[in-house]
Amino acid sequence: MNPWEARILVTGRLSDLELVHVGWRIIMVSRRWRSAYETARTLADRFNYLLEWYLEDERSALAVNNGRDIKTH
């Protein structure tokens, strides 16, 4: 989350950890992309921030079902 730019990024990329050096804050660590996304979406709605994510990460997360139904919007 970057409060100065009013942005939230959902990412699983280790390279994005460098963003903490330029004003970003880690607000959640999760093994499940969907859980991280839902939390980020709630915060983005609450603070009126821009929500960003990598489409490839979302596709990968949705492809892994683990035997449960996955809801998409």
- Does residue 70 sit within a domain? no
| 69 belongs to a structural domain | no
The verdict on residue 41 lying in a domain is yes
- What does the pLDDT read at residue 66? 52
Q: Confirm whether 33 is domain-assigned.
A: yes
User: Per residue in 36-56, pLDDT tens?
Assistant: 999 999 999 999 999 999 999
- How many domains is the chain partitioned into structurally? 1
Q: Give pLDDT tens digits for 17-30.
A: 999 999 999 999 99
The span from the CA of 54 to the CA of 10, in Å, is: 7
Q: Is residue 53 one of the residues assigned to a domain?
A: yes
52 located within any domain: yes
Q: Is residue 1 part of a domain?
A: no
List the domain range (segments joined by +) for residue 22.
Answer: 7-63
Residue 68 lies in a domain: no
Using alpha carbons, list the distances in angstroms from residue 27 to 7, 32, 68, 69.
12, 14, 26, 27
